[in-house]
Structure 1
Amino acid sequence: MNFTQMVRKSYVNFRGWSTDKKYLVIESDDWGSIRMPSKEVYDILLKKGVNVGKSNYTKYDCLESNQDLENIFETLSSVKDANGKSAVITANALVANPDFGKIAKADKKDYFFESLADTYLSYPNHDRVLKMWKDIGIKENLLYPQFHGREHFNVNKWMRAINADITQENIAFENRVLLGISDKNIEKNIRNRFQYMAALEYDTEADKIEVERITAEGLAMFKDTFGFASTSFVATAAVRGDHIDKVLSENGVKFHQGGQQLVPLGNGQIKKVNKYWGDKNNYGQTYWRRNATFEPSRNQDADSVDSCLAEIEIAFRFGKPAVINTHRVNFAGGISEKNRDLTLVKLKELLQRVMKKWPEVQFINSAQLGEILAREK
């Protein structure tokens, strides 16, 4: 970590609410969403000239499998905190995915989605995921779900993209891939129109109303899927307008995981807004900041453990919980078991070194962090 990075991290951790306790939270986005269906599909896209190898998301990210959850549970339960509790990942989940078959039958003119449960059943080696998540992940507080959106893409923008006769999007649709990458050969202003992975982005008032409806529906689906309402939320790609807070509040969301907010201004313009520990909005929803990063899939040769430990140390120095930012791409092995297995080795090392250096650390999920912050602020 260079001097500039250290100053920035110190500033983020200096601001707002503090505690004399040491809490560690792991917030991981994108669970439940499809991206690249399989290694076979990945190879097909490469052969057809789609540059899926340039992003770790299209290179490694895929739907979590039975084996993935078994391996994650084993790793997390192997390290205990000061209270004898296992490490836990807050898995920010999407609860729906496009129903490619129905959309194709409608000649791509109408959008249809399927539930997360149906998505799992449509993939081989995923039939036990939801049951394992409920019976082990939630009950034993190992993989605790919170709401990330209905889908991990903006429906209207994606529909425009798949109807725009863009070669790479045609290939992606045929192979049931959510591509979400740009093509340098497409004119920039056209390319920007089809960057669709930020689900809550909008350009028009109609789009704004639509994302409100989708969010409300998604929150209801989350409760139906997991058996309880999500109390915290983080938007896909951190893009959301303040208007969505009312919808979230009406459906039980009390906390915002992402204190850094990218507010849509229309026509693809974004404004960055920073909130700090304990800040509240007009609906009484409380904010905190992610202040450490663990993303081994970006570069498995990099020392992601030491860099994350350095960020955790800064957080604790300023009396802040360590909230680690990570993504499902690091833990899914459907495309690369090696990537998943290396990540889990590093995660175990990180957790063990945390407990050795700070034996008083407590492992908690994001919902628990929110309740602590609300009680003590």
Structure 2
Amino acid sequence: MMNSLKRKIVFNAKNLIGWKTKRKIIVISVDDYGNVRLDSPKAREALDNEGLKIYSRFDAFDTLETRADLEALYETLTSVKDCNGRHAVFTPFALPCNINFEKMAETGYEEYYYELLPETFQKLSALQPKAYEGAWKLLQEGIEKGLMVPQFHGREHLNLKILKEKLASKDHNVLTALKNRSYTSISTSGYKTISPMAAFEFWEFEENSKFSDLISEGLEAFEKVYGYRAEHFNPPGGREHPVIHKSLKENGIKFLDTYLLKQEHLGKGEYKRVFNYTGKKNHLGQLYLVRNVVFEPTENRGLDWVSYTLKQIEAAFRWNRPAIISSHRVNFCGHIDEENRSKGLSVLKQLLTEITERWPDVEFMAANQLGALIEKGE
């Protein structure tokens, strides 16, 4: 880990440029909602028995949000209020579609099929009622109450090129995962520039042309599932090339989540570095938002996550920037291990309490609401 002086320099340096405001704005952007990675504890055990490695905490604990996950999360978010009387809010960068495991099994795993999220919840409610009965309704209630404001994270959380190639070769790891209604990290993809979980990564630059249909179909599915058109996009599992931003704009995306220093892939492993900041616009007029605070409470980095996160927020506010917190659903998942959820939400509650006590004039808002604020020039 970096020493405290270097850490302080980094926290301040990443806030030197960008949209400014005197308001104390907190955005909590959380990736991966709506995605099935692990089906259940039983599936994880079966994958272990077949020798499928756990490459990360995502492979160990990440499941579609259960009823208990959502109940505990809502209790945590509503434990605090900002200066406007609003509870804390999550912006889940969410998927509207998942693998249709049953149809793929019926067709011998030769083709890829997907389903809409409500169908996934319906199946899991029947297969695992203790965990999933009422979960879809509870997610909808959270959206209606403004506790959750989902935005677009892609159609599904996987790279279709890799999956189809693995299906064609009858890859043991992929077939084992699919037969257990799961899709975890599956060793290597065969391409150094593509993660099996990253929907918009590529090898040949021309592969980007195939993403237009994925974007339009994904955003139509998002509207069907979540009840409104998404405005904000963050790619699942990897960095997209800006050539796809045109398709995103044509389908209603105004705001783009991106990295401060982005390694932009040009094809075949060649990259260029691009500097971004919150408030920057691309040539299409889309607005970039850069997450400037990291909060991963179940990741073991040997630090105090509350203190570490507060110092990042403090640096953002010092430079009159909004604090855009980056996190992942895995921190709040308890289906595989309840202790994982308990730990993540306990730390989140401590953080939210400290924020509201330290900055009484704090305002919680969703990422797309911040984007709209910047767009208006307020």
Shift of the alpha carbon at 1:40? 1.4
Match of 2:36 among 30, 34, 37: 34
1:99 is the counterpart of 2:100: yes
Residue 312 of structure 2 corresponds to 311
Q: What residue in structure 2 maps to residue 251 of structure 1? A: 251
| Rounded Cα–Cα distance in structure 2 between residues aligned with 1:146 and 1:121 | 22
Matches within 5 A, 1:286-365: 286-299=287-300, 302-365=303-366
Matched ranges for 1:75-154 at <5 A: 75-123=76-124, 124=128, 125-135=131-141, 137-154=142-159
More deviation in 23-32 or 274-283? Answer: 274-283
> Larger deviation: 75-84 or 261-270?
261-270
1:206-258 per-residue CA deviation (whole Å, 9 max, x = no partner) reads: 63222121111101111111111111111112411112111111121111122
1:192–1:107 CA distance, 2 compared to 1 (3 A): farther
| 3-state DSSP of counterpart to 1:14 | coil
Q: Which runs of 5+ in 2 are unaligned?
A: none
- Cα offset for 1:142? 0.7
Letter in 2 for 1:312: I
Cα distance in 2 for partners of 1:190, 1:148 equals 24
Aligned partner (choices 15, 21, 31) of residue 23 of structure 2: 21
Question: Cα gap change, 1:195/1:81 in structure 2, threshold over 3 Å: closer, same or farther?
Answer: same
Which residue in the other structure is 2:56 paired with?
A: 55
Distance change >3 Å, CA 199–CA 326, structure 1 → 2: same
Per the alignment, do residues 300 and 205 of structure 1 end up closer, same or farther by CA in structure 2, a change over 3 Å counting?
closer
- Structure 1's 138 and 44: CA in aligned 2 closer, same or farther, altered over 3 A? same
Q: Paired residue for 2:166? A: 161
Note the alpha carbon deviations across 1:143-199, whole angstroms, 9 max, x for none.
11111000111112112123334433332222122122436xxxxx83648732110
Question: Matches of 1:182 and 1:239 in 2, distance apart?
Answer: 20
Between the aligned partners of 2:168 and 2:364, the Cα distance in structure 1 is 46
Equivalent position of 1:241 in the other structure: 241
Amino acid at match of 1:167: H
Post-superposition shift, 1:128? 2.5
Q: Is the 8 Å Cα contact of residues 29 and 367 (structure 2) preserved in structure 1?
A: yes
The 3 A distance-change label for structure 1 pair 191 and 170 is farther
With over 3 angstroms needed to count, the CA separation of the structure-2 counterparts of 1:309 and 1:262, relative to structure 1, is same
Q: Distance in 1 between matches of 2:347 and 2:179?
A: 36
SS in 2 for 1:50: coil
Partner residue, 2:198: 198
Q: In terms of mean alpha carbon deviation, does 148-157 or 108-117 score higher?
A: 108-117
Q: Which amino acid aligns with 2:329?
A: R
In 2, Cα distance between the equivalents of 1:284 and 1:191? 33
Question: Aligned letter for 1:64?
Answer: E
Q: Structure 2 counterpart of 1:247, which letter? A: S
3-state secondary structure, aligned to 2:203 = coil
TM-score (norm 1): 0.92
Are the counterparts in 1 of residues 205 and 266 from structure 2 also a CA contact under 8 Å? no
Q: Measure how far apart 1:114 and its partner are.
A: 0.7
Q: Which moved more, 1:154-163 or 1:311-320?
A: 154-163
Contact 1:36 1:61 in 2 (8 A): yes
From 173, 176, 181, the equivalent of 1:176 is 181
Residue aligned with 2:237, SS: helix
Percent identity over the alignment is: 35
What is the distance in 1 between the residues matched to 2:13 and 2:63? 35
CA contact (8 A) 2:281 2:287 kept: yes
Instruction: Report what 1:186 is aligned to.
Output: none
Instruction: Tell me how many residue pairs correspond in the alignment.
Output: 370
Contact 1:81–1:363 (CA under 8 A) maintained in structure 2: yes
Query: Please, what TM-score do these two structures have when normalized by structure 2?
Result: 0.92
SS in 2 for 1:142: coil
Between stretches 152-161 and 342-351, larger displacement belongs to 152-161
